[in-house]
Structure 1
Amino acid sequence: MTTHPAPEGLDAHLVVERGSFRLDVTLTAAPGDVVALLGPNGAGKTTALRALAGLAPLTDGRLRLDGTDLARTPPESRPVGVVFQDYLLFPHLTALDNVAFGPRCRGAGRSEARTRAAAWLERMGLAEYTGAKPKRLSGGQAQRVALARALATDPRLLLLDEPLAALDARTRLEVRAQLRRHLADFEAVAVLVTHDPLDAMVLADRLVVVEHGRVVQEGAPADIARHPRTEYIAQLVGLNLYRGRADGHTVRLDAGPEVSTTENLSGPAFVAFPPGAVTLYRDRPTGSSARNLWRCEVAGLESHGDQIRVELTGDLSLAADLTAVAVAELGLHPGSAVWAAVKATQTHAYPA
């Protein structure tokens, strides 16, 4: 009789019912994969993470890790490491003893646990902070101590709950790069929960987008960025997104107007273009080569990085990114009547 080795990695169908909310999400990942869970507030990301950790019991479904059923395994007995958003370091313990806590809980002796902890802190570039308590650590240092504590138990599943959310912008940039290196070396499965698209795009191999407790789209970061399938995802990756029906190089939008595209499609379709592809005019342009032209009204303006994001309503609701100089030259303000133009070559249409 031939025996087959148990499949490695994560195989989970998480069904959790809490009051009127129902989470129903399938997650699979091979060792070495980093999966990011994305979604708006209340979508169920944290509930999914808690279910994986054993902190939220499954109502139904399955949870297997490296072929072992974990659905009824208590949290402390699961080969799972967790990095919480606020790190949850023990304030009375040094960095060394915080990291040693995990191995001690898994049965390691004090000396062995501290030796392992010291090695992890050195890998994190924190060898000189072994005796420091959390109040003496910066946000970035505390994050790395929390990561070292999670990894010191040699977990087969690493869960990261908004691991960079508590950091300021400058520290976040540095720690994100460090975290990417550590995750690249991690040989088991990592699941990252984040609301930040940049964290997800940089850190994860695959994105799973959850809305209202269900997966609405999953795939490689580049594919999702290029082919968003919901308004939330489009906003996340910074695109104007519409749904309609394609007939050749034209997509008749559900919202009303037509959009000319370079793709030749037939049937239900999405069409998207970045806010930076939109050109605004105060008067109807006569010399523009843009195939798409809509009469709009400025609904609002706000800073967006080094540009101004102009929200428009009218023939089509859309966003346009302009420089501050362009906004001033056009004299834009809420209520301004404008013409919005987009070249067909700057749109992207794909089957719905």
Structure 2
Amino acid sequence: MTAAVSGAPAGLDARLVVDRGDFRLDVALTAAPGDVVALLGPNGAGKTTALRALAGLVPLTGGHLRLDGASLERTRPESRPVGVVFQDYLLFPHLTALDNVAFGPRCQGVGKAEARAQATVWLERMGLSAHTGAKPRRLSGGQAQRVALARALATRPRLLLLDEPLAALDARTRLEVRAELRRHLAEFEAVAVLVTHDPLDAMVLADRLIVVEDGLTVQEGSPSDIARRPRTDYIARLVGLNLYQGRADGHTVRLDSGPSLTTTEDLSGPVFVAFPPSAVTLHRDRPTATSARNLWRCEVAGLESYGDQIRADLTGELPLAADLTTVAAAELGLHPGTEIWATVKAAQTHAYPV
């Protein structure tokens, strides 16, 4: 195991540069002990490549990788103080839950009896005392996930990597295991890096988000800041906002796409403007008695159900998404091709500098 440099800052300090054919990853990552950082992005963005580079499974072609002050670039994967929870858990099918968890300490030179004793403690912490003798095929998805997490933690890593840790679970189990995972990560004293394409996993589990698109960081910050101030269409869709870019002159923003928006913020220069689909009110006829400062003529391009809500995809003067109840959608007689008027109050928009 690589020793930390005396007096060096603890935590992770990395710039991951990986060239693979036509794809280039270039992402910076810093985190202090106790931090949980989520790499969030669409498929093919480079999230898994970044995780594999941290684990030593993909070599860097540039940049650096330091953990607790020690350089890991030339350190073999098995010698790094890193624990990994893979998307499919990759438990050893011929070993019991107990021996799966004991495997890590055994590889570190711990005797069989002591490694099993340590594994027993970890399984107790995961609420799996009754399943120590079960092999993976006898475990539920949630139980297998907890065994995989216990196996990663049993080596007492200084960096914990989680690759889509909840992706293999059904919706009901995912809700329960997400809450458990949040508790375990809150107790973890080193750095944890989570890779996911699910914004809810990222928002619930992480202290800080790094959004990656096409191999580059496009936004970084707390979950609340990113949810409130998205800077790309991908992020806006993730957090459920309509997002536009334009130039502000006081309370008026002239959008790059043509029309103008009225906002409550008094700004000047390049800005983003965002508002939720729930802020949009639809009318079959041009409204005459409305306090909304923003009004556009649109056409319904598509309709989609979201629980008890209908999401209307609108084109026209301003392409946007609008949410309304099924009753309202029926009363308006909405269907693809319907001409509609959309209004948004200035108070429900949010403008911020680019």
Partner of 2:279: 277
Once residues 114 and 233 of structure 2 are traced to their aligned partners in structure 1, the CA distance between those partners, rounded to angstroms, is: 51
Q: TM-score, normalised by structure 2?
A: 0.98
Partner of 1:75: 77
Once residues 226 and 196 of structure 2 are traced to their aligned partners in structure 1, the CA distance between those partners, rounded to angstroms, is: 16
Partner of 1:45: 47
Deviation at 1:303, TM superposition (A): 1.3
Partner of 2:248: 246
Once residues 147 and 327 of structure 1 are traced to their aligned partners in structure 2, the CA distance between those partners, rounded to angstroms, is: 46
Once residues 81 and 291 of structure 1 are traced to their aligned partners in structure 2, the CA distance between those partners, rounded to angstroms, is: 54
Deviations 1:260-290 (A, max 9, x none): 0000000000000000000001110111111
**Which residue of 329, 333, 346 maps to 1:344?**
346
Partner of 2:29: 27
**Residue ranges of structure 1 left out of the alignment (5+ in a row):** none
Once residues 186 and 25 of structure 1 are traced to their aligned partners in structure 2, the CA distance between those partners, rounded to angstroms, is: 24
Deviations 1:33-90 (A, max 9, x none): 0000001111000000000000000001100000000001010000000000000011
* Counterpart code for 2:26: D
Partner of 1:54: 56
Is 1:132 aligned to residue 134 of structure 2? Answer: yes
Is 1:172 aligned to residue 174 of structure 2? Answer: yes
SS in 2 for 1:62: strand
* Counterpart code for 2:135: K
Once residues 291 and 194 of structure 1 are traced to their aligned partners in structure 2, the CA distance between those partners, rounded to angstroms, is: 39
**Which residue of 303, 306, 309 maps to 2:308?**
306
Question: What is the number of residues matched between the two proteins?
Answer: 350
* Counterpart code for 1:232: Y
Deviation at 1:317, TM superposition (A): 0.5
The alignment yields a C-alpha RMSD, in angstroms, of 0.9
Deviation at 1:112, TM superposition (A): 1.0
**Which residue of 201, 204, 213 maps to 2:203?**
201
Partner of 1:325: 327
Partner of 1:295: 297
SS in 2 for 1:76: helix
Is 1:105 aligned to residue 107 of structure 2? Answer: yes
Once residues 306 and 255 of structure 2 are traced to their aligned partners in structure 1, the CA distance between those partners, rounded to angstroms, is: 27
**Residue ranges of structure 2 left out of the alignment (5+ in a row):** none
Divergent runs of 4+, >3 A: none
Deviation at 1:291, TM superposition (A): 0.4
Deviation at 1:107, TM superposition (A): 1.3
Once residues 234 and 105 of structure 2 are traced to their aligned partners in structure 1, the CA distance between those partners, rounded to angstroms, is: 41
Deviations 1:316-352 (A, max 9, x none): 0000011111111111000000001000000000001
